[in-house]
Homo-oligomer: A and B are copies of this chain.
Amino acid sequence: MPKLRVHNLTVTLDGFASGVGQRPGAPFGDGVDGLHEWAFAGMRELTDGKGGIDAGWIERGDENIGATIMGRNMFGPVRGPWQDESWTGWWGENPPYHHDVFVHTHHLRPSQPMEGGTVFHFTDEPVETVLRRAFDAAGGQDVRIGGGPATVQQYLRAGLVDEMHVVVVPLLAGRGERLFDDLGDALDGYRVAEVVASPAATHSLLVRR
């Protein structure tokens, strides 16, 4: 059975997955500089052909993924209605997805094909419907939720997430958007199946009980 997976979801020691004031130039807002430094270091290790704990998790997150789901704040800093449709994500002309990407938003717009095979679809459908579409698009592979925290929370509350890779980094944000918040009883269905620490981050894998 294909799975719904979350990867590389990084939080500060005090639990924040993003800061305040998300905008172009500061996709994760203020107060969280260095949040993803572990991932950049891991990607450099991969580029250099070296192994490493962080590199291993980066690779693992990309394996067998056939479609991506994300929230609108992960797609871009624009809030409210689109002023035009010139914003096509943070990732340039050739985004690193190369498959269908479903963006949750109340403000619909036509699907946006990009170079390299990525197609952004904009949807205000319920999570169950979006997930069904994503599994169809993935053609038997797994589906990944890219983020951000509010979108992950929606899928956790609906009991739809099969695996979640959470990364805790030694930073303090003080404020922002928490990952583990507004979840009700949702976490009761999960346990921590793996933990491994690199010098930069502690990686945990949540799976269903």
Identical chains in the assembly: 2
* Interface positions of A from 134 to 165, Cβ below 8 Å from B: none
CB within 8 Å for A172 and B197 given contacts A166-B13, A204-B13:
no
* Interface positions of A from 187 to 209, Cβ below 8 Å from B: 187-188, 190-192, 195, 197, 199, 202, 204, 206
* Interface positions of A from 171 to 192, Cβ below 8 Å from B: 171-174, 178, 180, 183, 185-188, 190-192
* CA distance in complex: A174, B185 (Å): 6
Check if B168 sits within 8 Å of A168, measured CB to CB.
yes
* CA distance in complex: A199, B180 (Å): 23
Q: How far is the CB of A121 from chain B (nearest CB, A)?
A: 31
Check if B15 sits within 8 Å of A202, measured CB to CB.
no
Check if B180 sits within 8 Å of A14, measured CB to CB.
yes
* CA distance in complex: A180, B180 (Å): 12
The 6 closest A-B pairs by CB, nearest first: A197-B197, A14-B180, A170-B192, A174-B187, A170-B195, A202-B202
